[in-house]
Amino acid sequence: MKRIPIVAGNWKMHKTIAEARALVDGLKPGVAGLTGVEVVVCPPYTALAAVREAIEGSAIALGAQDVFWKEKGAYTSQVAPSMLVDAGCRYVIIGHSENRGRFGVPEPEMTEALLRWFGETDESVNVKTKAALAAGLIPIVCVGETLDERRAGKTDEVIAGQVERGLAGLTAEQVGGMVIAYEPVWAIGTGETCDTPEANRVCGMIRSVVERVFGADAAQAVRIQYGGSVKPGNAKELFSQEHIDGGLVGGAALEAESFTQIVRAALS
């Protein structure tokens, strides 16, 4: 089965509304008319409406950076799946390592008490994923290991557990239609990139977990991205691997030229 690669830009906590519009205006000419790759931008909540307007008529899809698992209620600051759909989103990132309180670059002011604010767990990833799917959103579920876990030889154990628990209770059809992003925590925002063969191996391991739990059809259909310091200089090599179906891009997605180059790397 030929999987269409997907390149998504996670803007994180960057871009005012005006800056978001300018970025999309710069991006549209570079990706216009491209076929054989899906392009997604995930701005902060405040810029969703502006970006929706800016991408109208283009092939760029809109995504959000997180979602809550309830449709309404007394949940101050949370955003429901139906609200994201109403805002024009097609995709939503779930379980990013930063939401789990797992950072590639230690921040001195992030004490243990403050890190508890980032309370994402495999259980919350699971209920968010189910809620997103029920609303018609396509989840981009993030998994990845820390540097300590990798050094301890626990990469496969940690990631397999995240996949199994995060996707528990889903159907094979649901899993086959979603996206999983492998983002080694130690490579996010650090400039370090997982060696291409190892990135492919881990993505292949994720696919084997999906096959074991959900069957061969789901494993062949699910798209698995690599994320973690993806740049124009390494994107082509990464995206040429058997099990890597595009990228979840952070810093390099904040400039139209670099993100366009990464998108085009998925075509070759």
Catalytic residue annotation: 96, 183
122-134 and 155-166 helices cross at what angle (nearest 10)?
A: 40
Query: Which residue from 251, 215, 216 is spatially nearest to 12, judged by alpha carbons?
Result: 251
Place of tokens 């370090």: 192
CB atoms within 10 A of CB 250: 21
Three-state DSSP class for residue 206: helix
Written as one letter, the residue type at 124 is S
> What is the Cα–Cα distance from 268 to 116, expressed in whole angstroms?
42
Query: Which residue from 218, 249, 239, 238 is spatially nearest to 39, judged by alpha carbons?
Result: 249
